[in-house]
Structure 1
Amino acid sequence: MIKSSLGVLLSLALSVAILPNMAVAKTATEKPAKTSKKSVSKKVAAKRVSKKVSSKKASQKNKKVAAKSKSRSYAQRSQKPGFQRVSFSSRTSAVPAPATAGDMAGLNLTRDPLELSSNAVLIMDQNTSEVLLDKNSQVALPMASITKLMTSLVVLEANQNMDEILQVTEEDIDTVKRTHSRLAIGSQLSRANMLHIALMSSENRAANALGRHYPGGLPAFIAAMNAKARALGMHSTRYVDPTGLSSGNVSSARDLAKLVVAAYQHPIIRYYSTNSNYAVEPGRHVLHYRNSNNLVSNPDWEIGLQKTGYISEAGRCLVMQATIDGRQVVMVFLDSKGKHSRLADAARVRRWLEGSKPSVMARPIVAQQG
């Protein structure tokens, strides 16, 4: 009994002594495991951050490489023969002009020694009627605002009061080409001022108002225009309105030369058509007009009469009476391309007249098929 009690006591004492050591051992083995887990977690996080940074750097690098590649590719393309950068303005200027009536008739295939861009031309000595240059001069073509020369001729020969005040109405609005006019509905000007800006600046509403205020109105005025054309021997000419906005107004270069000679007899037409600028007051505001032909302001030119014209069917047109090298010359250019081509044609003819014998070209130029 005493032995068993002593055994129990010894057993308890041994367990008490062993337990703390076991706890310490357990703690020692668990603590390193816990620390290792945190370390792994931090390492994983660090790797992720590193991977993210590396990925970002790689992306930026790829972008730079792509940009370089694109730049290199563009440079290589630009070095290829035939490649050319074209600006916006160059593309718009390269758009071809619409085909005119002369183009559709094949007149653009005609070649002349002066290489004029106008499809129909007549250069004539005003005093002798000698034809110095003839290019498709007998073909009837739309004449655009050259029409206004006949409009002015009919107005003046009707002996109407030039001081009478005419009013612009809705009847004068352009319904053919939808062109703009600075003369508002209700504008009032004298017949003289209407004629002035119609001849000098091709003011369409002014020209139409002149026709409407003719005795019998527009129908009678147009009939008078055609009657005057017949009287002048303009057999290829027809008028349908006083402005020239309709392509139904047609004439030949040969006929228009006759019109220029007839219109030149009127000092008012000579003065109005060659005036460089003019101001009118049709209402509350003063309107300043400029001549549609820049040559009238050029001191190198001696122009006695002129008129310009343009609609898409007619191309650029110009008629002039000018004194060149002491000789009075009538010049007609129809169906030209480009804003300044008709003026360039006039300059070429002038240089030719000043530097050669015009009689050499006093014969029709035969079309050569291109």
Structure 2
Amino acid sequence: MKTFAAAFLSLAFLAALPGAATAAADSTPSKATRTPAKTATAPARKVRSVVLRKAAAPVIPAVPTFGQVAGLHQVDDPLALKSSVAYVLDQDTNEVLFSKNPQAVLPIASITKLMTALVVVEAGLSLDEKITVTDDDIDTEKFTRSRLAVGTTLTRGEMLHLALMASENRAAHALGRNYPGGLEAFVDAMNAKAQTLGMSDTHYVEPTGLSSRNQSSAADLAKLVNVTSQVPLLRDLSTSREARVALGKRLVQFRSTNGLLSNPLWDIGLQKTGFINEAGKCLVMQASMAGRKLIMVFLDSSGKASRIADAERMRKWLATVPDAGQAATASTKL
């Protein structure tokens, strides 16, 4: 029996060997013995998943404004304004109702375009004359974009409208370039007009405001707003909320850069916004409020909507404080 059992086990062991050999051959076949996939299924190959993560963008520190460098934002004021410079003047009495850092001379960005518009209008140039945007009008200072492509032709009046309402830089530059004597003569006329108005802290180097060398003070800008607000055309164009302009075969809609024009609580007679990194957010306005005609100047405001918020704080404050000018002065020495 032992012999029979041993023989039986040996036969069973030998019968199992071919199957074991075949399985080994299917899993790791050599070039000579590789068989078609019909006879056996190869085990699934394990695939490693690699997740490619986007490299983190480098953190680029914000360029400080001239006001921040000078420490103007450290000055406290009764309204906790985000603007480092604020100035409110009664247009009829010349009474200063609010003043914060009035002595500061800072970049004024596109507030420049108010002087650009004033010089164009006072020159008596035809508003119907056609002006064409050229390569010379491309911004090489800040490399900003424009919806006015090179070759665009509009009337001087349309260029003036877009410069004041939508703060179109190419429009403003084209206006200066097409002044009698060219751009250099136009900038000279801007500075001469500033001196005539008694704007002793003001200097211009170009007509758009893209250069940080266009600088002024709050009191000077109040003088400019006072004069420009008395020109009906500039009042109308600067407070226009939107306009459709034919650019080639397309009608392109332009909108004002000042959201307060849509606010029924405001009665704005003239306005202009401005922004470049060195100047921060800027805003000047002539507005009627509580039976008064007021001139407001906000410069170097920090934050996307802070200049509008500052104007709202000022409006509410002026409505609740009878004698606003008594304790509304804050300043620091530069």
TM-score (norm 1): 0.75
In the superposition, relative to structure 1, how do residues 166 and 363 fare at CA in structure 2: closer, same or farther (>3 Å)? same
Q: Tell me which residue corresponds to 2:142.
A: 177
Q: Tell me which residue corresponds to 1:329.
A: 294
Q: Is the 8 A contact 2:115 2:224 kept in 1?
A: yes
Q: Is the 8 A contact 2:75 2:84 kept in 1?
A: yes
Deviations 1:162-208 (A, max 9, x none): 10000000000000100000001110000000000100000000000
Asked if residue 105 in structure 1 is aligned to residue 78 in structure 2, the reply is: no
1:318 pairs with 264, 278, 283, which one?
Answer: 283
In the superposition, relative to structure 1, how do residues 185 and 105 fare at CA in structure 2: closer, same or farther (>3 Å)? same
3-state SS of paired residue (1:334) = strand
Q: Tell me which residue corresponds to 1:36.
A: 9
Q: Tell me which residue corresponds to 2:180.
A: 215
Mark the structure with the bigger radius of gyration. 1
Q: Any gaps of 5 or more consecutive residues in structure 2?
A: 21-55
State the distance in 1 between where 2:61 and 2:286 align.
31
2:262 pairs with 292, 297, 305, which one?
Answer: 297
3-state SS of paired residue (1:222) = helix
Q: Tell me which residue corresponds to 1:226.
A: 191
1:196 pairs with 161, 179, 201, which one?
Answer: 161
1:281 pairs with 246, 250, 264, which one?
Answer: 246
1:240 pairs with 199, 205, 209, which one?
Answer: 205
3-state SS of paired residue (2:247) = coil
1:133 pairs with 90, 98, 110, which one?
Answer: 98
State the distance in 2 between where 1:324 and 1:125 align.
10
Deviation at 1:353, TM superposition (A): 0.6
State the distance in 2 between where 1:331 and 1:41 align.
103
Deviation at 1:287, TM superposition (A): 1.4
Counterparts in 2 of 1:339-350, with a 5 A limit?
A: 339-350=304-315
Aligned length: 293
For 2:315, give the aligned amino acid: R
Asked if residue 147 in structure 1 is aligned to residue 112 in structure 2, the reply is: yes
In the superposition, relative to structure 1, how do residues 209 and 337 fare at CA in structure 2: closer, same or farther (>3 Å)? same
For 1:210, give the aligned amino acid: L
Calculate percent identity across the aligned residue pairs.
54
In the superposition, relative to structure 1, how do residues 213 and 325 fare at CA in structure 2: closer, same or farther (>3 Å)? same
Deviation at 1:266, TM superposition (A): 0.5
3-state SS of paired residue (2:202) = coil
For 1:155, give the aligned amino acid: V
Deviation at 1:363, TM superposition (A): 5.5
State the distance in 2 between where 1:252 and 1:292 align.
22
Q: Tell me which residue corresponds to 1:256.
A: 221
Q: Is the 8 A contact 1:97 1:337 kept in 2?
A: no
For 1:32, give the aligned amino acid: A
TM-score (norm 2): 0.83
Asked if residue 205 in structure 1 is aligned to residue 178 in structure 2, the reply is: no
Deviations 1:196-234 (A, max 9, x none): 010000000000000001000000000000000001111
Q: Is the 8 A contact 1:168 1:205 kept in 2?
A: yes
3-state SS of paired residue (1:286) = strand
